Amino acid sequence: MMRNLTRKRILVAGGAGFLGSHLCERLLQEGHEVLCADNFFTGTKENIAALSRHPHFELLRHDVAQPLHVEVDESYNFACPASPLHYQHDPVQTLKTSVLGAMNLLDLAKRLGAKIFQASTSEVYGDPAIHPQPEEYWGNVNPIGLRSCYDEGKRCAETLFFDTWRTQHVRIKVGRIFNTYGPRMHPNDGRVVSNFIVQALTNQPLTIYGDGSQTRSFCYVDDLIEVIHRLMQSNDTIIGPINIGNPAEYKIIELAEQILALTGSCSKIISNPLPSDDPKQRRPDIAKAKALLGWEPQVPLETGLNKTIAYFDSVLSKGSALKIPLKDFVLYTLRD
Ligand code: NAD
Ligand code: UDP
């Protein structure tokens, strides 16, 4: 039988994670074949359970720090723990994942002549001295702190992508993702939106780190997948790095209050120590995404939070969510 020529074979490394699973779903909906490669460090089989039955979905247990020999037309690199709690658990492994993962996936893209997307991050700006952050800003990153394994790993991955583009002409797309939330975040993920929602729904205190005056800008997952799709479809001159996120900025205390109001929870708000190097403010300048991709976020925080609360409500009601698969994690983020 002849293969459908518009159908591509697409590799999603980290496809069993929060963002990767949404991307796999979108690619399957568009009729592509998806190869999900994941080592299940933070991803879960539940995230891709519904996709596993799809005839065009294939799962490969694989660590991107090792070379990968597969045949695909395009690839996306999402493989890396994203929560500070998880990426600080084994910082050297996090660096290997970012750096060796980027090298291995770039080698594969080069061999196949395939286009490749890199999930970079707002963390490349560190604790930013310029606000909001445009792509031209080089950042303010501590090279030896607790967050460095992630920040510097992702910065090095960007360097590898751009050097490979310059010297080997591999077709690259680099998106700098700002805080994104939504269904399929792990209940014990440790990031602020999932923590606050799970705490509110289980009547535990909401744990604000520091005084809650630090800011973040939260993007709903559907908006993020849409802009990644547009970036990947855009012509080869648009390579990034391009900020992708929602510029609506909130103090962490405001987020806590909004989640309490939306869940109707009686939980208290308590203050825990502020982790070291925690960025004080963060908001993307998305002028480039608007101009080059005609994109801006559509989902307001309240709408996205309501969908995410409904998701966690259903997960928690099944009773399995609070068993902690990542039970050996130490709160490295709370140590100096
Ligand atoms: P996640 O932890 O849910 O997903 C990461 C996935 O990568 C998991 O399935 C995990 O098992 C897998 N993984 C980790 N190490 C691996 C390895 N060595 N080999 C193969 N698979 C591995 O996190 P997420 O929020 O879905 O983030 C996905 C990507 O997007 C990450 O690269 C992250 O740095 C980036 N990002 C996310 C955000 C966000 O707010 N969600 C913000 C900035 C950047
Ligand atoms: N945070 C918090 N309570 C939590 C988890 C996080 O106050 O239970 C704060 C954290 O200190 C940071 C912000 O929320 O200032 C966002 O944290 P997250 O880990 O979600 O992402 P990142 O720091 O990587 O942006």
User: Is 332 marked active-site?
Assistant: no
Residue 329: its pLDDT value, please? 37
Ligand minimally distant from the alpha carbon of residue 124: 1
Query: Domain 9-180+219-244 falls in which CATH fold?
Result: Rossmann fold (3.40.50)
Residue 5: its pLDDT value, please? 61
Ligand 1 pocket test, candidate residues 22, 26, 40, 41, most atoms within 8 A of CB: 41
Phi, psi of 76 (to 5 degrees): -125, 130
Strands 206-209 and 269-272: parallel
**Mean pLDDT in consecutive groups of 10 residues from the start of the chain, 336 residues:** 77 98 98 98 96 97 98 98 96 98 98 98 98 98 98 98 98 98 96 98 98 98 98 97 98 98 98 97 98 98 98 88 42 30
Every domain of the chain and the residues it spans = 9-180+219-244, 181-217+247-332
Residue 121: its pLDDT value, please? 98
Residue 155: its pLDDT value, please? 98
Residue 6: its pLDDT value, please? 87
Instruction: Please report which residue ranges of the chain form alpha helices under DSSP H.
Output: 18-29, 49-52, 84-87, 91-112, 148-168, 192-201, 221-233, 252-263, 287-293, 301-317
Ligand 2 atom nearest residue 196's Cα: 8
Residues whose beta carbon lies within 6 Å of some atom of ligand 1: 13-14, 16-20, 38-43, 63-65, 78-82, 97, 101, 119, 121, 177, 179-180
Ligand 2 pocket test, candidate residues 217, 252, 333, most atoms within 8 A of CB: 252
Helix (H, G, I), strand (E, B) or coil at 99: helix
Residue 332: its pLDDT value, please? 32
Of 76, 87, 150, 181, the active-site residue reads: 150
- Select 181-217+247-332's CATH number: 1.10.579.10, 3.50.50.60, 3.30.930.10, 3.90.25.10: 3.90.25.10
